[in-house]
Structure 1
Amino acid sequence: MTAAARKRKPADKGAAVFDRELEDLPQELRWREWMGRIEAVLFASGSPVGREDLARVVGQGASVDMLIDDIQAELVGRPYELAEVSGGWMFRTKTQFADAIKAAADLGEQSLAFTEMEMGVLCAIAYHQPIDRAGLKDIFGKEVSRDLLARLRFKDLITSGPRSPRPGAPHSFVTTATFLTTFDLQSLRDLPELDLAVGNVGDITRAAQV
């Protein structure tokens, strides 16, 4: 039996119990197994995994942050990295390999590509949320189409916010956790300064396509 296939203790009803502590292993092997478990969970997830979820696969005395640090140290020189995004961690390819990825798989045409207007509306919502269609019209000087907003919803980048205080109480729009993950943000506080936002639109768009 390999180190990864540890024995399981019987539960009260005969079900297997996940062995978090691995007390039968020497400390060094125990630490390596915990690192492997965290990597496996992150590779299996398509979205950031939080500290609380990662703590469920390691011993109670183990530091998730220290395990993450050790995994990150081992990835130096690799084309991918373990990054903290939107309150959790996830694997992602390094930006210097974006052109190689696109050349091999034509990922530049994936569904998260944006038109200039889509990106403009998305930035307006990010900086002014919650904001309704009338508020977007004030910014752009014209109506923002429902189809455009529907496309941003389909990509799970925006969702409905609180009702606007305007007559009729229309729905407002806010960004989602997927928005944070897509643009590599921990929170909305990490958005660039508003007066620099327009200049950063191209960089944000390219980041979303990697």
Structure 2
Amino acid sequence: MTATPEREQLSHEEALAALEAVLMVTEEPVTPAELATAVKLPEHQIVPLLDELKADADGTPITGTPEEARPARQRGYELREVAGGWRFYSRLRYAEQVSAFVLGGQTSRLSQAALETLAVVAYRQPVSRSAVAAIRGVNVDGVVRTLVQRGLLDTAGTDPVTGATLYTTTAEFLERLGLDSIADLPRLSPHLPGVEDLDEVDEAGDR
């Protein structure tokens, strides 16, 4: 019987560097399980390492680590936990400079109509277009199409009673807002008049 070669153990610093290297090339949040597979470490060791990388980027010494071992300078990037995974992002305070470099100063922003539509879907999902239109008081077909094209909304089947297409927010939406899940949205229903009545709107509007 051939003996299975033992896995080479990474040192603490090598493990940090390996995680950092993987996170630098990802284009979407990566889960601890995926990172564990990539760097060949047990999953339970990954989150403490991620916390250390986050503190390092923030210029915050790790508890129990000599302060001189951690630079005090805050980096221009940060490590965030969003949409169920982890990813490096440029730091928000430098958004103006990053925007100037990437977009030449021309920022593509969502319209007020799109923001309002996105808010209603986020807080009521899954929801039909007619229900959103009833809340906003205007037709939202074009706005919904735009949000789907931008990857912020997606279809989620149809209403079993009315047959209307239902819409939900996406992982891209969570990532853009820096949220881990929809449950992390602030409670804003008092500021969205009529949201609590959407059940009645669904029934009446989709007939």
TM exceeding 0.5: yes
Shift of 1:72: 1.9
Alignment partner of 1:46 is 2:27: yes
Residues 108 and 50 (structure 1 numbering): CA distance in 2 closer, same or farther, change over 3 Å? farther
1:174 partner SS? strand
Find 1:22's aligned residue among 8, 18, 23. Answer: 8
- Residue 125 of structure 2 is matched in structure 1 by 129
Q: Alignment partner of 1:136: what SS?
A: helix
Q: What is the TM-score normalised by the length of structure 1? A: 0.74
TM-score (norm 2): 0.75
Structure 2: distance between partners of 1:54 and 1:125: 32
User: Partners in 2 of 1:197 and 1:37 — Cα distance?
Assistant: 45
Partner of 1:69: 51
Once the two structures are superposed, what CA deviation does each residue of 1:66-100 show, in whole Å capped at 9, x if it has no partner?
Answer: 21122123212111111111111100111111122
Does residue 176 (structure 1) correspond to residue 170 (structure 2)? The answer is: yes
**Stretches of 4+ moved more than 6 A in 1?**
none
Matched position secondary structure for 1:63:
helix
The runs of 5 or more residues in structure 1 that have no matched partner are 1-11, 199-210
Give the aligned residue type for 1:22. Answer: E
| Count of equivalent residues | 173
CA 1:184–1:97: 2 relative to 1, 3 Å: same
Report the 3-state secondary structure (helix = DSSP H, G, I; strand = E; otherwise coil) of the residue aligned with 1:22.
coil
State whether structure 2 residue 42 is matched by structure 1 residue 60.
Answer: yes
Return the offset for 1:166.
4.6
Structure 2 gap segments, 5+ residues each: 60-73, 193-207
